[in-house]
């Protein structure tokens, strides 16, 4: 079993739609979680950290469920510019980090 698993997609959604991605992790000792965004042929960039209490940044909401060992990302009012691959990251043992394979999102007009 992979340490961090994501549905690769693609998720094809119309503009304005709400879309959610889940990511499961196998190491219960994982302490920090992040969502990175990667555009085609570009490097990953931090989208947001994921906190235990959940956090929101504009149209983006991240949640952590430690009991079920998954994190989620919710995107509201999808824009064409949201089209990208979203990478889930779990981190433990101080900086030991694993990326998921990514979920591809395509927002269509």
Contact between 39 and another protein by CB under 8 A: the answer reads: no
When asked if residue 74 is in the footprint of another protein (CB under 8 A), the reply is no
**Does 67 engage in binding with another protein (CB under 8 A)?**
no
- Cβ atoms of 26 and 69 closer than 8 Å: yes
Nearest residue (CB) to another protein, 38 versus 76: 38
Rounded Cα distance between 41 and 98, Å, is 20
Pick the piece of the chain touching another protein (CB under 8 A) from 14-22, 40-48, 54-62, 72-80.
40-48
97 scored as a contact of another protein (CB under 8 A)? yes
Is the distance from CB of 35 to CB of 48 less than 8 angstroms? yes
In angstroms, the CA 28 to CA 40 distance is 32
Under 8 Å CB-to-CB from 92, ≥6 apart: which residues?
A: 27, 29, 30, 31, 32
Does position 106 interact with another protein (CB under 8 A)? The reply is no
Instruction: State yes or no: residue 98 binds another protein (CB under 8 A).
Output: yes
Identify which range of 50-58, 59-67, 72-80, 93-101 contacts another protein by CB under 8 A.
93-101
């Amino acid at each position: 079993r992979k340490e961090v698993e994501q549905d690769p997609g693609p998720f094809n959604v119309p503009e304005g739609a709400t879309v959610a991605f889940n990511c499961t992790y196998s190491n219960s000792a994982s302490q920090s979680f992040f969502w990175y965004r990667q555009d085609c042929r570009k490097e990953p960039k931090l989208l947001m950290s994921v906190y235990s209490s959940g956090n929101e940044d504009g149209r983006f909401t991240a949640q952590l469920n430690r009991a079920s060992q998954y994190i989620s990302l919710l995107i509201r009012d999808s824009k064409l510019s949201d089209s990208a691959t979203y990478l889930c990251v779990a981190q433990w043992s101080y900086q030991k980090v694993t990326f998921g394979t990514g979920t591809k999102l395509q927002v269509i007009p």
